[in-house]
Amino acid sequence: MEAPILSVVGVTKRFGGLVAVNDLSFDVRAGDILGLMGPNGAGKSTLLNIIGGEYKPDSGIVKFKGHDIAGLSPHKICHLGIARTYQIPRPFTNLTALQNTMVAAIFGRGLEKSAAESEATKVLDITELSEKKEVVAKDLAALTLKRLELARALATKPALVMIDEVAAGLIEAEIPKILDILKEINKMGISIILVEHVMRVMMEAVDRIIVMDNGVKIAEGTPKEIMEDRKVIEAYFG
């Protein structure tokens, strides 16, 4: 079997007395769409912050394409091929969608301006933002900003993209568009870790789900297995 592109082994992250991520292990293989679920405060965003280099784990190993990446800077990790979107979009509010995406291509990938512009134009097309490319970020609606986050992540040409709650706050009618975009990204050969509370997105987009509660992995399986898992139901409703 092919080696995983990402291996998380026994990772722990503490904030004072709180164990936000507790001895967590999982793999992502090339082309996987892995869902990450869990109640509020379960440790999902903290885990993404560890993989993305914002936090150094207190213990454990994070391996990406054979590199030991735990504790590397976000910039280095981005260069190795991991990109992410934030739960709260973080665009440069006074720059246009195109300029925002170009910044990601320039700084995330080291492209010069004209190459960055052509790369940005391409990913804005994939995220269905071509019509908005000259609009400044502060004038974009919520759904559009989420897609701009994705465009900025893709502009760094990642092998793995981590997406934190792309569907949160969207109305039902907007969800098929997000599902299409996720499939499109995956077809480009990019692996995805998707954190999402919107169940329809989880059920329709991902191959495998990991459920966290209080920093611990409490279940792993197909969406169907997860929906029938008593521990998962108890974590949400118990």
Q: Would you tell me which residues interact with ligand ATP (CB under 6 A)?
A: 15, 18, 20, 38, 40-46, 87
User: How many Cβ atoms are within 10 Å of 98's Cβ, its own excluded?
Assistant: 20
Least distance (Å) between residue 37 CB and Mg ion:
11
Nearer to ligand ATP, 38 or 108 (CB): 38
Least separation in angstroms between CB 87 and ligand ATP = 6
Angle at 68 between CA 100 and CA 214, to 5 degrees: 80
In angstroms, the CA 24 to CA 59 distance is 10
Smallest separation, CB 57 to ligand ATP (Å): 13
Least distance in angstroms from the C-beta of 108 to Mg ion? 22
Tokens 């720059």 -> residue: 95
Six-digit token pair at 211?
A: 């459920």
Place of tokens 């999402």: 196
Stretch that binds Mg ion, among 8-16, 37-45, 54-62, 199-207 (CB under 5 A): 37-45
Q: Amino acid identity of 69?
A: I
List C-alpha distances in Å: 238 to 14, 42, 235.
Answer: 25, 14, 6
Choose the contact partner of 156 out of ligand ATP, Mg ion, none; CB within 5 to 8 A by kind: none
User: Does 46 sit near Mg ion (CB under 5 A)?
Assistant: no
Nearer to ligand ATP, 18 or 199 (CB): 18
**Out of Mg ion, ligand ATP, none, which partner does residue 40 contact, by CB within 5 to 8 A per kind?**
ligand ATP
Is-contact 73 224, C-beta < 8 A? Answer: no
Nearer to Mg ion, 13 or 44 (CB): 44
* Amino acid identity, position 85: T
Tokens for 71, please give them.
Answer: 């504790």
Q: Which is nearer to ligand ATP, 26 or 123 (CB)?
A: 26
Q: Which of 45, 96, 100, 144 binds Mg ion (CB under 5 A)?
A: 45
Q: Which residue has the tokens 């925002």?
A: 100
Contacts with Mg ion by CB under 5 A lie at 44-45
